[in-house]
Amino acid sequence: MTQQKQPKPDKPLRSKTAKRVAIVLAVLLVPALLYTVVYPVVFDAYTGVRNAPLTYESSRKLTDAEFEQLALELTEEDRYRQAAAVVDEDQDSFARDLKIEMLMNTRSVIADGGYDHIKYFRDAGIRRYEGPETCLQCHATIDVTHADGTVTTVDTLEDIVNTVHFKFQSNTGGFSTFGYDGRRVNAEDSRKIPVGKINRACGIPGSFSWTGWAALVETHPEGDGSHERIETLDRTGPVSEAPIEHAALAGEDGVLLRSEGCGQCHIGGNYHPATEKMMPVGDVPDTAKEGIDCLICHSDQYDMNQRYVIRDEVGLRWNQDRSMRAAMAVGRTSNENCLNCHQHNMGGDAYVHNMAAKSLGEKHPRLLHTGAKRGNPFSPQNDAHAAADIQCTDCHVPEGHKIPRGLKGVDLVANDLPGKEVACEGCHSKAPHTASEHRAILNGHIARMACETCHIPSLEDNNVVLRDWVHPTWDAEEGLWEPTDIYRSGEPGKGLIYLWFNGNGTFLANALGDNPEGDGSYDPLMQQIAEITDPEVIAAVRARAERLKEQYPDIDVDAYVKAATQPLSQLSPEMLEKRRAMIDANLKQAMADGESRIYPFKPFNAMMYEDMANQGPFGAMILPYDYATYYETGDSLAAMKTAIQDPIVKRMYQEPFKLYMMDEFMAYFGVEGGWKTEYPIADDGSLRNVEANWMRQMGTLMVNHGIQREGHDCTACHSPDGILDFDALGYPPERVAELESMDIVEEITD
């Protein structure tokens, strides 16, 4: 009965039964066939994303002899490291070397040293690392321990493919994020839409991950590299590093190709982010899964010099280290692995102790972003926990490949484990201060203040507060145009502000909370994060604007400063009125929820091109940049125009995308009437609805690392001009006076 297996038999069937069976089979087979064969092709054609088998030059087969030689090297290096960690550093270096050598050759260190996988690979005959395929030979499944202690066995590849590290999105609420329409984002009873870095452009990368995934930028570095150094301020003062001589690296034509894009910090090695995962059905193709970079997180010897953009016949993508050397040193994730990427959003690319920045790529070196996203590094030099060798995963306890981010947070990044706590209280008791004479009163402060408020006294100086993407500046040493940082500071009150926070945030990353003993005047979305009042900051912004005017004569300095420091001034009176009404009606409850405490936040605002057809009281849809055009020409408008011609942005302005995602997206965004599909480039090639604006309020990023043992002292806050503005925090006047005067405190010596 072969015809029974055919969904559409061309000759009449002999019996009714056979006919019925055929129909059932057809019903089952046809959709399956459509889904597995037709859908991916249609999807790729519609979105313009491309997939192809991925190869990497570093994935090379070793001979047995080479393998053994490498094994010996790695083992010795590891033994050396173990021994060196034990031998005191403060002694004669020659004597120290000898001691290390003695120690590393003791029987116990020889027995302990080296990497487990060398033996496994030797026994299994593995002489070449081919990506996930190689790992999965043994690790096809893993046991995942959940928070409640239960253990489940999951498919390893599926587990990793469904993490934020791979797909940059989730259809959970992230943290407890509220839309400006008052609904909780992706709440239980809502229609869930994918949210995360994949579709929420924010000011600091200046792009979507679709349009800014991987770029090769032609730079024209000037000079011999001696006149400028990569220099950054440590808290102890300026620290200079060896200069990176970009000019010397450039070719004969003076051109140096640099790598840039979101893909440098994400584990997929494909030509685009995991776009397929945005749809309710469909999966990334197997070829893309084979591009996952296991070793960047799991190898002790990952070479960041292999992490640069390469161009092949299909397009641009990120290279990775698939050498046997990296593979043989595979193991559990350590802080160094995490910091390969996360130094970017913590200490910043230009942070002096950023080890990954010392290996920018053997070719097409990665661009260093000199302004820091947060500027609170997790390094032994600048964080008490890192100094105590606490591992990232000690607090961010993973469940399989899902890493928890805690219950509180206000950024736009998706969260794999929204219900899982990561908090100081996980280790520290409710009475954490033990040594000080004032320990009881210090502990008392926890009732109203987060640990971070005192114990992150400041951020790195290169922490960006205001960034102008529209008016780029020429960086001669790097030989490219870069966005102009109008104001950078890590100082409390300037680049580090203090807000009430109960764990809720808005769709555009504004911390929500309220003063539990306030007089109702605390109003962050109209005041604290919607205006800059510090005269020193305003003066600095003005000074920078004046310098910018030299280059862009059109700039009206007064208007510029006003828009940058009072972004609400860009709203029409009606819009402002509406904003007020929406805050009162939609967000008051989210602010009053739970128990608010004072947290430190890194404030951030950016000037970007916006699609004003999709504007609401809280902002308009911002438009991305094409990195290469931007860095090479400094023509921000052209860069924006190039980026929005990306097929997927065009699709965004069409009906299916609107209905599937953008209407809901806009509702959360506070834009009424749904997504307007009027594409910003008209048929004649002219732009429409496009304006350059500062976002209508500052985003607030939570800062939790860079913890110092010594926090602020009492008078840092309890004095008339302390770093906490008690009045702005909504305290009634008599309580403000009480908090500022501290007349009952006689003397505190330390």
Which stretches of the chain bind another protein, using CB under 8 A?
429-431, 433-434, 437-441, 443-448, 738, 744-746, 748
CA gap 268, 166 in Å, rounded:
6
**Strands 464-475, 597-616: parallel, antiparallel or unpaired by DSSP?**
parallel
Q: Which one, 90 or 750, has the nearer CB to another protein? A: 750
Report the residue number, 323 or 502, with the smaller CB distance to another protein.
Answer: 502
Q: CB of 96: closest distance to another protein in angstroms?
A: 39
**Choice between 119 and 428, CB closer to another protein:** 428
Cα 682 to the chain's mean position, in Å? 33
| Distance of alpha carbon 746 from alpha carbon 616, whole angstroms | 52
- If the CB atoms of residues 224 and 437 are measured against another protein, the closer one turns out to be 437
Complex with another protein: residue 15 or 434, whichever CB lies closer:
434
Indicate the residue among 447 and 682 with the shorter CB distance to another protein.
447
**Separation CA 675–CA 652 (nearest Å):** 10
Residue (401 or 445) nearer to another protein, CB:
445
Q: Give residue 65's identity as a one-letter amino acid code.
A: A
Distance CA 670, CA 580 (A): 12
Q: Least Å distance between CB 439 and another protein?
A: 5
Closer residue to another protein in complex, CB, 359/443:
443
Question: Closest approach of Cβ 713 to another protein, in Å?
Answer: 15
Query: Pick from 188, 187, 168, 191: which is nearest to 178 by CA?
Result: 187
d(CA 340, CA 349): 10
Q: Phi first, then psi: what are they for 509, rounded to 5°?
A: 60, 55
Angle at 457 (CA atoms; ends 456, 463), nearest 5 degrees: 80
Nearer to another protein, 440 or 659 (CB): 440
Q: How far is the CB of 444 from another protein (least distance, A)?
A: 3
- Residue 253 or 517 with smaller CB distance to another protein: 517
d(CA 552, CA 636): 13
Considering the complex, state which of residue 1 and residue 441 has its C-beta at the smaller distance from another protein. Answer: 441
Closest CB 434 distance from another protein, rounded Å:
6
CA proximity to 564, closest of 633, 466, 459: 466
Radius of gyration of the chain (CA): 28
The CB-of-396 to another protein minimum distance in angstroms stands at 25
Q: What backbone phi and psi angles, to 5 degrees, belong to 184? A: -75, 130
In the bound complex, what is the minimum distance in angstroms from residue 710's beta carbon to another protein? 19
Query: Which C-beta is closer to another protein: that of 432 or that of 634?
Result: 432
Least gap, CB of 743 to another protein (angstroms):
9
CB of 448 to another protein, least distance (A): 7
Give the containing element (helix H, strand E) for 116.
helix 116-124
CB of 441 to another protein, least distance (A): 6
- Tokens 């899964």 belong to which residue? 289
How far is it, in rounded angstroms, from Cα 488 to Cα 465?
5
Do you know the residue count of the chain? 750
Tell me the DSSP string of 238-265.
Answer: EEE-----HHHHS-TTS-EEEEESGGGG
Residue in this structure with the two tokens 């097929």, named with its chain if needed: 647
Q: Least Å distance between CB 445 and another protein? A: 7
List, in order, residues 6 or more apart from 576 with CB less than 8 Å away. Answer: 568, 617
Minimum distance, C-beta of residue 747 to another protein, in the bound complex (Å): 8
Phi, psi dihedrals of residue 692, rounded to the nearest 5°:
-95, 125
β-bridge mates for residue 694, sequence order = 607
Residue 432's alpha-carbon distances to 427, 441, 451, 598, 709, in angstroms, are 9, 11, 10, 18, 12
Q: Which is nearer to another protein, 589 or 741 (CB)?
A: 741
- 228 by Cβ neighbours in 10 Å (0-12 / 13-18 / 19+) ranks as middle
Q: What is the closest distance, in whole angstroms, from the C-beta atom of residue 383 to another protein in the complex?
A: 24
Residue-by-residue DSSP string for 31-92: HHHIIIIIHHHHHHHHH---------TT--PPPHHHHHHHHHHHHHHHHHHHHHHHS-SSS-
To another protein, the closest distance from the beta carbon of 714 in angstroms equals 10
Cα-based distances in Å from 384 to 290, 391, 434, 490, 704: 38, 12, 16, 18, 12
Token pair in block for residue 35: 């889904």
Best CA proximity match to 383, nearest among 626, 705, 710: 705
Query: Min. distance of Cβ 443 from another protein in angstroms?
Result: 5
Check if the beta carbon of residue 496 is closer than 8 Å to that of residue 600. Answer: yes
CB 623 within 8 Å of CB 609: yes
Beta strands in 502-645 (DSSP E): 504-506, 597-616, 619-622
The pair of structure tokens assigned to 734 is 């008599």
Nearer to another protein, 123 or 746 (CB): 746
How many beta carbons lie within 10 A of that of residue 145, not counting itself?
13
Least CB distance from residue 748 to another protein, whole Å? 7
Give the burial string for 688-702 (b: 16+ CB within 10 Å, else e).
ebbebbbbbbbbbbb
| Shortest Å, Cβ 429 to another protein | 7
Minimum Å distance from CB 455 to another protein? 15
Give the nearer residue to another protein in terms of CB position, either 250 or 450: 450
Please, which residue, 399 or 738, has the CB nearer to another protein? 738
